[in-house]
A and B are shown apart, each in its own frame.
Chain A
Amino acid sequence: VTDSTESFGCEVHSEGARVSVVLRGEIDAYSADRLRSGIASVGDVGGRHVVVDVSRVGFVDSSGLSALVTSLGSLRDAGGVVSLSSPTRQLVKLFEITGVSRLFPVE
């Protein structure tokens, strides 16, 4: 099992005005629920900067993308300032092809 196929994980670090969420592994229909509950556990994000580190997300498909969009959207709806940090080339491509990058800029 290589890095790109490691199982899904979500770690949350909360420090003052900044919340750091580190995602790793693969996001698909199987891990989508764990992503959603992981993001839901972030807590109060109102007015805080939420940095979602996706540099170690090895694979995302449409089910994973939808879970990611829903989760990031809920953080934003709760008043968080959400940004994605270090997305892989594959994730950027997925965001751009599906037009999700209009809502959550990636570069």
Chain B
Amino acid sequence: VPHRRKATDVASWSELVLAATQEGVCGVDVDGVITFANPAAARLLERPLEQLVGAGLHDVVHGAAASEQGVPCPVAECVRHEATHRSEDMFLRPDGSSFPVDFTSTPIVDDGNRVGAVVTFRDATEHHRALEYYGQVVRLTAREAAQREVVHQLQEAVRPPIPVVAGVDLAVHYLPADPSLPTGGDLYDWQVLPGGDLHLAVIDVLGKGVPATKDALTVVHALRLLVLEGWPMDRLVGRADELLRAHNPDLVATVVVARYSPSTGRLLLAGAGHPPALIVSPEGSVREMSAPGVALGWPEAGSFEVVDVTLDRGDTLILYTDGLVEARRDIVQGLSDLTELAARTATYPVRHLPRILVERALAGADRSDDTLALALRRRVPPVEAGQKALGPFEHRFSALLAAIPVARHLFGAWLRHQPIDETDREDMLVVASELCTNAVRAASPAARACALRAWRDGDALVVEAEDDGPGFGGPASGPDQLPEPMQTSGRGLFLVQSLVDEFTVAARSDGGGAIVRCVKHEVFPR
């Protein structure tokens, strides 16, 4: 049974409260002498209560030596403050150790005169520890972010931008062995040479991480320089080895170099210890193109012969590093899987092909190597016109979901009578469906508020949809921003931009709507 006390017994109440509190509480007189102290104060300061009362507070918590220095301190000053004063401080224990405190003093005023102060303090060790930890985390995060930024910039610096060359689709995908170090020993180069030819190189340096990137960059620059100096393909790798050996005696790298002429489709390949390049026809037949040679850094480094082939319309050259075929530890099986995969994806948009090859080759694999895939496709119009092209297509429809399949079927029927590839038909049917869906979602409920149109423009197929609404909806993420796999919408724009060469949104000339237009080149015979 709790013992009840009367509320009027003020002194006893104060005593109880003070005894129970976790904070140290001391009363000091105008001279700073402790007049009372609670048990928590005694516990925190590790002194018996009797020793505290009658002693100078400052002498107790800061030591007698410190008081002689005359340095103003919150404890010494506490009896002079006119209002509550808060500060942080360090208090001494009798053994000489000290601990951080949060310290508050409040003047005691009696009859208008300051007669002393109440001082409360608590051990701030945990608080300080948390702050310190927080500070460390902040510093670490900042340092990591800075490191990531450096690596990112390095990565950008070593990756040349995609050259825009008429008649060529190019793309690359690189997956480092260590995702936290996004550069490694695999590197590529693509440069348009003064004569209009394209120089390509894929390099796989022995080693990992940033030092390997440095070596790979050295090889890239040596090859680029030699190519610009006009060295013949069969001497490129051997000469690069001669140049690099003096300064980089430990550098070992396999290399494949390609020279491609966009106007003729002629392709020269020279290699050195690198796995075979693949040439994939649109029908899905795959040729392994071995460009044999001895890797850089080995005795007699250089290419044995130069492969000389011509890419036909729609043919895709695939260059890669051995990570793509060695992921499952069996290079023969790996190459066979890659060949099968390349055949199956022969008509995929080049923009996404290297990523898909890398994703597929590495699916479920126990991977420890950098992996790089690069694809080049010859884009030229078909040669013969087996069929005459039909005139332009136009279909007007209302903003109803049911109108979408109807518009698509009509467009599909028109497409079937065009002298174009099946892949282009299939892709443009998807594009038309996306454009119609967008128009239906954007348009007003008015009858025939939407239109789907298509026509031939030279070798290009143009498809456009018109609505009387404000424009193309959805996030403008662009074709390189892969949607999240579980995303519930918003893949339309991504898909359209993946399948066509040009995508534009324009206001209707009367300002009362939008026209979304897609163009795919090299579809019709010239």
Chain A, 28-52, CB within 8 A of any chain B CB: 28-31
Q: Is B434 an interface residue (CB 8 A)?
A: yes
Bound together, the chains give a CA A90 to CA B423 distance in angstroms of 10
| Contact-residue bracket for chain B | 35 or more
Q: Closest Cβ of chain B: how far from A17's Cβ, in Å?
A: 25
A29–B495 contact, CB under 8 A?
no
Interface centre among A62, A69, A73, A100 (most CB of B within 10 A): A62
Q: Is B430 an interface residue (CB 8 A)?
A: yes
A66–B405 contact, CB under 8 A?
no
Q: Which residues of A contact B486 (CB under 8 A)?
A: 69, 73, 103
B348–A93 contact, CB under 8 A?
yes
Chain A, 47-72, CB within 8 A of any chain B CB: 59, 61-63, 65-66, 69-70
A65–B491 contact, CB under 8 A?
yes
B356–A66 contact, CB under 8 A?
no
Known: A61-B434, A97-B498. A66 touches B485 (CB 8 A): no
Q: Which residues of A contact B207 (CB under 8 A)?
A: none
- At the interface, is chain B mostly helix, strand, loop or mixed? helix
Q: Which residues of B contact A63 (CB under 8 A)?
A: 437, 489, 492
A-B contact count (CB 8 A): 85
B412–A5 contact, CB under 8 A?
yes
Across the interface, A62 reaches (CB within 8 A) one of B412, B440, B482, B491, namely: B491
Q: Which residues of A contact B440 (CB under 8 A)?
A: 29
Q: Which residues of B contact A101 (CB under 8 A)?
A: 359
A62–B492 contact, CB under 8 A?
yes
Q: Which residues of A contact B359 (CB under 8 A)?
A: 96, 101-102
A98–B483 contact, CB under 8 A?
yes
Q: Which residues of A contact B352 (CB under 8 A)?
A: 96-97
Q: Is B387 an interface residue (CB 8 A)?
A: no
A5–B349 contact, CB under 8 A?
no
Q: Which residues of A contact B404 (CB under 8 A)?
A: 28-30
Chain A: how many interface residues by the 8 Å CB criterion? 30
Across the interface, A100 reaches (CB within 8 A) one of B349, B485, B498, namely: B485
Q: Which residues of A contact B402 (CB under 8 A)?
A: 30
A28–B437 contact, CB under 8 A?
yes
Chain B's closest residue to A104 (CB) is B485
Q: Is B8 an interface residue (CB 8 A)?
A: no
Q: Closest Cβ of chain B: how far from A26's Cβ, in Å?
A: 6
Q: Is B429 an interface residue (CB 8 A)?
A: yes
Chain B, 478-515, CB within 8 A of any chain A CB: 482-483, 485-492, 494-495, 498
Q: Which residues of B contact A100 (CB under 8 A)?
A: 485
Bound together, the chains give a CA A105 to CA B434 distance in angstroms of 24
Q: Which residues of B contact A61 (CB under 8 A)?
A: 430, 433-434, 437, 492, 495
B485–A62 contact, CB under 8 A?
no
B482–A28 contact, CB under 8 A?
no
Bound together, the chains give a CA A103 to CA B401 distance in angstroms of 28
Bound together, the chains give a CA A93 to CA B349 distance in angstroms of 10
Bound together, the chains give a CA A62 to CA B483 distance in angstroms of 11
B485–A99 contact, CB under 8 A?
yes
Bound together, the chains give a CA A62 to CA B401 distance in angstroms of 14
A66–B488 contact, CB under 8 A?
yes
B483–A28 contact, CB under 8 A?
no
Interface residues as binary, A1-29 with B (CB distance below 8 Å gives 1, 0 otherwise):
10001000000000000000000001011
Binding site for A on B (CB under 8 A): 344-345, 348-349, 352, 356, 359-360, 363, 401-402, 404-405, 408-409, 412, 426, 429-430, 433-434, 437, 440-441, 482-483, 485-492, 494-495, 498
Which 9 pairs from chain A and chain B are nearest by CB?
A103-B485, A62-B491, A61-B433, A62-B492, A30-B401, A99-B482, A29-B437, A62-B495, A96-B356
